[in-house]
Structure 1
Amino acid sequence: MMKWIARIGLAVLALVAVAAIGLMVWEPLAATPGTAPPQREYRAEIVRDEWGVPHIYGRTDADVAYGVAQAHSEDDFFTLQDVIAMTRGRYGAIKGEEGATFDYVLALLGARELVDRQYTTLAPRTRALLEAYATGLNDYAAAHPGEVKLGNMFPVSGQDVATGFALRAPFFFGLNNWVGPLAKGETLLPDPGPKLHGPLPDRVEAENAGSNAFAIAPGRSDDGVTRLVSNSHQPWEGGVAWYELVVESGEGWHYAGANFPGSPFPFLGHNEDLGWTNTVNSPDMVDVYKLVLNDDGTQYRLDGKWLPLEKRRVRLSARFGPLVIPVWRDVYRSVHGPVIVNDNGAYAFRYGGMDRIDQLDAYYALNKAKTYDEWQSILATHAIPGTNFIYADKAGTIAYWYNASLPQRKAGPDWRGVLSGDRSDLVWQSLVPYDDLPHYVNPASGFLFNSNNTPMVAAGKSSNLSTSGFAPEMGIETKMTNRAYRAEKLLDEPGPISRERLERIKYDTGWERVDYVKTVLDGIDGLDTRGDPLLTKAKAIMQGWDLTSDGAGRADALALLVMRPAMGDSYSLKPITPAKKLLTDAAEFLMEHYGRLDPPLQDVLRLRHGKGTGRFAVDLPLDGGSDTLRASTLWDVEPDGRLKVRHGDSFIQFVEWAPGKPVTSQSIQPFGSATTRPDSVHYTDQSALFVQHKLKPVHFTRADALRNAVSRKMVTHRARSD
């Protein structure tokens, strides 16, 4: 009997081992093989300057796009693969449960199916660019098989690249603030804000938690120079971290700026004639509908008729250690749009810009625009669904467009709440005309700015817009940020806005005692701290705060920790956390990790990248706050109690057009061009300048790039005859 038991035990162990091996290897075998782009020849030159920034040259735009993929892969193939995995619904096999969430959203939105339907509607030159870029990724993967994360990931196609845009674009105007709660079965609450609706999102934890932008007309500067400042706040690593590059082709494409992993062209920056930058806006572009289902959940009612609820079963994968677990989920769709079924019912959502991929055409065309009229006509197509655009050019024109694909809603219904899903008259079919969106062109003040605030405040008190011209159902945000209060105050002061003054404004660390800042400070002033020595001392320190986060004051570290959660509440339109809790939590944190309430801010807030013993690792002091113009927005608490910033000031660029002279620009990033290559000198070579508020030159012309080149190489792809 014991022998039989032993044999059974061995058999069970063998089955477990076989199952474990199967869970280790099944995912690449089950994945749909990729499709290589059409075979064409490409030839590009990659010139790297002293900062490792790639300058990519080619005879055609497609040649340049091939070179962009090769250069970016040399610096960050690790992240590029994550983006490709997202487009193929395989990110869970890399990133586990977090990645599987992206794969679910890919299926829910039908992003891949959308691209399959509309890919051939893109301009031929755009498709050529995407396919060249995909070929560059494929060639790098073939030449470096040891870096490939997943089997059967390559080759990738132009459609894969396009799918990345279709998947990620809606999340820049906050679609995740609705999808997340619905998927979790949470109740959707109407916003207390007067012009927004939907759940109460934790916006500050979104990947796009901020940005600043400034444009100064030549008549307001002290030297007749037109200036544009790009000051995006993005994560410092990952799929939406900026990558700087300069591109130039024989077909007239010449642009200096930055893109995200997975893009063949820059998203912001400048060409010879004009430039623009972006800040995230918060338009109400999403409407949620509760559907009425029949008893078996296969149909929904619309205008008294029963229609079939589309249903599709998808396989997701989630990595747990060495094992990859298959997970099956159902995704649904109605005439309204994607549908999420949870314990509370079935909810459809509809959003501006859905079912369109022509933003690929638009961004590419913007890169090559020569005049304001040409540039603005591209935006007017509504192809790019969201984000503010701040513009300047060599002719001295400055402009700001509140770019948003706002639904054309009728007056009357409560668009802030969950709508009835059985009324077709609530299913809007068109967008607010572009010319009806808030915008400014050459305001009398001579300046424009945005700091993720309402577009009604952008040009100073003499030139701001009135809210009276915009209907509530448009859903234009009315909120301000501390950065916006500071920017308007500093820009609106009399006198010319010189380059030096503009730099002071950009790196300003001040706080205005208004809005949530006032609420918190007034709350601290009113605290009764008798009997609590720690809170008494913390209150006294906060009452001596000079309202800056420059690191010079005794209260700066304590204030940093107090204001960060309050900012999150304000951005999320939630009630501000009580002052006593804010102060107590901050004080206890500092005492636990530093043994004092007033450590220097520079000891607490750090720019860290790489392991401490690494050749190019850095650990440098930072300034700024979560809602100051010098932004250190989000951080992780390290084991030693230091705050490692991971989000805030990222790609910064100053662009200038002096009268009768070619465009010039300077830029900086927190780390370097090779952010995932710890053995590269360009892993962190910009960090020291970044923490000192300094910029490096952008070598825009080929002659300048060659004078400052540290490496040159040709990359080629020869078309196969088969």
Structure 2
Amino acid sequence: MKLRPRLAVLIALVLLASAVVVVRTGAPAAAGDARYSATIRRTEYGIPHVSAKDYGGLGFGYGYAFAQDNLCVMASWVVTLRGERSRHFGAAAMSDDPVSPINNLASDVYYKSVADSGVVRRLLARPAPVGPSDELRRLVDGYAAGYNRYLQETGVANLPDPTCRGKAWVGDVTAMDIWNNLLDLNRMVGSSALKEAITGIEEPEADGPAKRPTAGSNGWALGRQATRDGHGMVLADPHFPWNGIRRFYQVQLTIPGVLDVSGGSLYGTPVVQIGHNASVAWTHTVSHAQRFTVYQLQLAGDRTSYLVDGQAEPVGLQEVEVALPDGTMTSHTLYTSRYGPVLAVGQTDKVAYALADANAANLRAADEWLAMARATNLAQLRAAQNTYQGLAFVHTLATDIGGTAYFADASIVPHVTDAKARRCAKPSPMQGLDAYVLDGSTSACLWGKDPDAVVPGIFGPGNQPRLTRADYVANSNNTFWMTNPSKPLTGYQHAWGEARTDVEPRPRVSLDMIAQRLSGADGLGAPGFTLETLRATARTKRNYSFELMRSDLLTLCRTHPELTSSDGKRVNVREACATLRKWDGRATLDSQGAILWREFYTRLMGPHKPGEVFSPWRVAFDPAQPLTTPRGLKYDAPEVWRSLADAVLFFQTNRIALTLTAGQAQRYSSIPIPGCTEGEGCFDRVRMRAAALGTDGRYPEVDTGSSFMMAVELTPDGPRTRTILTYSLSANPASPHHTDQTVLFSRGQWVTERFTEAEIAADPQLRTTAVHQG
């Protein structure tokens, strides 16, 4: 196709005016001599668009660009993956795991045991789909080389990030480090969340609850019947940590004619996890299906062997050595079984417990994301999921240019049927452990097999919850049941989650937001989604618990203007009630009453007396009315009275204004952050590691919440996309892109994505860097 002369001249002028090319090379190289080469173009907010002629070059350019922005985070995590934190930072200090932090010694013992087990080397020796594809191998090799290239050019002593500048623990990475990171991501809700129980260091209490990762998410896939123009749309709103290795990095990856994908990519991974290409868009939400089981071992006389079908099998021993700061080594013995590591909890002279993690040997997720990125329609996306079956713990919500909406819990779930779970059940070694505990003394309790499963022991695609619609599918970490209320999903094994259970406030407000947009009842104009109303709907900041309880709360306020606190003090609640009466129920920066409500609601939902279970809902949950129950407030209950009195007394005692706003109370890098918490029923939630409001009227810094938000519309003329990376592109406090998008997020603004060549070239801030390695 020929360009009209005037248009061609304009494009040439734009490119000439905006592009600054810097070629980085050790020595001049003739064309074709470079092993790796790539072009990195950065648009507003530093967002990189990496292009190359092959996968190795693409990985090289991506690794280089990522290192420019976030080398220190990756360097620290490599120390973690190698089990060397105690040596550099001390055994008692806390690790840098943003999801399940533990002390460095326990972290080192765990990660050394993973490395010494050889699991990654065995997977790398396997062909695809169990082992990595050739394309992914080249991508990983290039990524490590690109990271190292940047470090070699810059030098540790000259790194722009003061966090790791000149530090002895900073060095080159290897492809094995990248593979280990990919494995650990897949183990995040299994083995890696149970490090203490595996190592026996800082052993959890036997009656303490097992930790569950705090990652959440909202996801919508909108079909042609839900959108004004009949286009497919996706809203991605993953709730991942705001610090550390589980942050998202925004990137576009292009191999002309082969791959062109844009979206959010978790640190240290060379693929896009949540994103879109020209004709397909997808997102993920965390599924709470089973990821592992625990097997009770029947010990055979002593603790050195256990019985399976009456035959003794030896308990395996693994000696792990960890270096300490003074140069000495400390040795720890871990125990293994045919099922997996033997846990340090629940052991007696007769029984022990072993962890069987369905993701213990899973590197397939990265290939699945790579294949999804190449898909041109939903059929190809589904084929990618069926081929690799590697997504460790997430639902998938997707749409294509034809306007079909698709949901699947295509995650990895141990093949344990309801019948087997009942027949093989054993007591749990830990209270609150969210997993089946099965009889390990008989092979009849081993995981089952599906003929369409890529590896033994997991449910295959034919048994996964799936739904395809022309209107929408949605998920906010609820089970598959209410993906679309018009078509409830039932009949699946309980390992996938429960149907006909309380949907919970955040998923309920999500479905209500969609319903109001489809009917036009939300005040945003005519029914149906446009890209603009999709963004507006996602940022309404509704506090659903307040909406459900407001009427009864005001009744309480009218009838009880004075209440008695837990310590017997009389508390005047008139001013507090006036504040809540005026509040619009939104968690915007300037909403007066949002924090007062949170402090009341937190006390309301918390324990009131040891062993007491109190529900404040006036109308209990009814599975026949899942979207309207529970609701209301038991305004005549003493527990409710005390909760309100205690909250108001806290404000009065510490001279905190009852009108305290979210903008005053919650921050990230000194920037006020809107939003409210998971328990309150907030769609765009925030979380602070310590949730208590301080006596100064401030919460600890926000550490989890909406992370990489993406609203995309797939049109015949190309994707129209708005994004916001809530914590910004770079963890380097000296970077101009450390908080620039955070400021936008605070104000409710979005970034217009540049995806096409014309859009990228038209950016007046465009910076181009050519990188290669001979």
Which bin holds the TM-score, normalised by the shorter protein? Answer: 0.7 to 0.9
Residue 472 of structure 1 deviates from its aligned partner by 3.0
Return the match for 2:134 from 103, 124, 138.
124
CA contact (8 A) 2:82 2:112 kept: no
Return the match for 1:432 from 424, 440, 459.
459
Alignment-derived partner of residue 543 in structure 2: 511
Q: Does 1:463 align with 2:470?
A: no
Alignment-derived partner of residue 614 in structure 1: none
Matches of 1:596 and 1:581, distance apart in 2: 20
CA contact (8 A) 1:285 1:475 kept: no
Paired residue type of 1:492? A
Query: Matched residue of 2:281: which SS?
Result: strand
Alignment-derived partner of residue 450 in structure 1: 475
Return the match for 1:695 from 750, 754, 764.
750
Stretch deviating more after TM superposition (262-271 or 499-508)? 499-508
CA contact (8 A) 2:40 2:769 kept: yes
Q: CA distance change for structure 1 residues 624 and 133 in 2, over 3 Å: closer, same or farther?
A: same
Stretch deviating more after TM superposition (219-228 or 86-95)? 86-95
Residue 253 of structure 1 deviates from its aligned partner by 1.5
CA contact (8 A) 1:392 1:398 kept: yes
- TM-score norm. by structure 1 comes to 0.81
CA deviation map 1:477-498 (0-9, x unaligned): 7553322111112212325322
CA contact (8 A) 2:197 2:344 kept: no
Residue 564 of structure 1 deviates from its aligned partner by 5.1
Alignment-derived partner of residue 115 in structure 1: 120
Matches of 1:567 and 1:180, distance apart in 2: 29
Q: CA distance change for structure 1 residues 213 and 515 in 2, over 3 Å: closer, same or farther?
A: same
1:137-148 alignment to 2 at 5 Å?
A: 137-143=147-153, 144-146=155-157, 147=159
Q: CA distance change for structure 1 residues 115 and 656 in 2, over 3 Å: closer, same or farther?
A: same
Stretch deviating more after TM superposition (344-353 or 385-394)? 344-353
Residue 324 of structure 1 deviates from its aligned partner by 7.4
Alignment-derived partner of residue 46 in structure 2: 52
Alignment-derived partner of residue 406 in structure 1: 413
Paired residue type of 1:672? S
Q: CA distance change for structure 1 residues 167 and 580 in 2, over 3 Å: closer, same or farther?
A: farther
Query: Matched residue of 1:435: which SS?
Result: helix
1:284-295 alignment to 2 at 5 Å?
A: 284-295=290-301
Q: Unaligned 5+ residue runs, structure 1?
A: 1-38, 190-198, 610-617
Residue 521 of structure 1 deviates from its aligned partner by 6.7
Matches of 1:287 and 1:434, distance apart in 2: 20
CA contact (8 A) 2:249 2:729 kept: yes
Q: CA distance change for structure 1 residues 585 and 479 in 2, over 3 Å: closer, same or farther?
A: same
Residue 107 of structure 1 deviates from its aligned partner by 4.1
CA contact (8 A) 1:181 1:187 kept: no
CA deviation map 1:339-365 (0-9, x unaligned): 123463432011323323222322222
Alignment-derived partner of residue 274 in structure 2: 268
Residue 712 of structure 1 deviates from its aligned partner by 1.4
Matches of 1:232 and 1:534, distance apart in 2: 41
Alignment-derived partner of residue 532 in structure 1: 569
- TM-score norm. by structure 2 comes to 0.76
1:585-604 alignment to 2 at 5 Å?
A: 586-587=647-648, 590-591=651-652, 594-604=655-665
CA deviation map 1:658-695 (0-9, x unaligned): 2x21112111122322231x332222111232112211
Q: Does 1:485 align with 2:508?
A: yes
Return the match for 2:710 from 638, 653, 662.
653
Q: CA distance change for structure 1 residues 474 and 647 in 2, over 3 Å: closer, same or farther?
A: closer
Q: Does 1:165 align with 2:158?
A: no
Residue 296 of structure 1 deviates from its aligned partner by 4.6
Stretch deviating more after TM superposition (532-541 or 134-143)? 532-541
1:583-662 alignment to 2 at 5 Å?
A: 583=644, 586-587=647-648, 590-591=651-652, 594-606=655-667, 608-609=668-669, 618-626=670-678, 627-634=681-688, 641-643=697-699, 644-658=701-715, 660-662=716-718
Matches of 1:311 and 1:120, distance apart in 2: 24
Task: Count matched residues.
Answer: 645
CA contact (8 A) 2:573 2:645 kept: no
CA contact (8 A) 1:111 1:163 kept: no
CA contact (8 A) 1:301 1:307 kept: yes
CA deviation map 1:107-148 (0-9, x unaligned): 455686211111132222211111111111222222322256
CA contact (8 A) 2:589 2:672 kept: no
Q: CA distance change for structure 1 residues 449 and 317 in 2, over 3 Å: closer, same or farther?
A: farther
Q: CA distance change for structure 1 residues 388 and 235 in 2, over 3 Å: closer, same or farther?
A: same
Q: CA distance change for structure 1 residues 523 and 177 in 2, over 3 Å: closer, same or farther?
A: farther
Alignment-derived partner of residue 664 in structure 1: 720
Return the match for 1:90 from 84, 88, 99.
84
CA contact (8 A) 1:46 1:54 kept: yes
Residue 174 of structure 1 deviates from its aligned partner by 5.2
CA contact (8 A) 1:56 1:247 kept: yes
Paired residue type of 1:634? M
Query: Matched residue of 1:364: which SS?
Result: helix
The alignment's C-alpha RMSD in Å is 3.4
Alignment-derived partner of residue 61 in structure 2: 67
Query: Matched residue of 1:689: which SS?
Result: helix
Q: CA distance change for structure 1 residues 202 and 351 in 2, over 3 Å: closer, same or farther?
A: closer
CA deviation map 1:427-464 (0-9, x unaligned): 21422221221111125xx11111111111112x3223
Paired residue type of 1:132? G
Q: Does 1:423 align with 2:429?
A: no
Paired residue type of 2:122? R
Residue 219 of structure 1 deviates from its aligned partner by 2.3
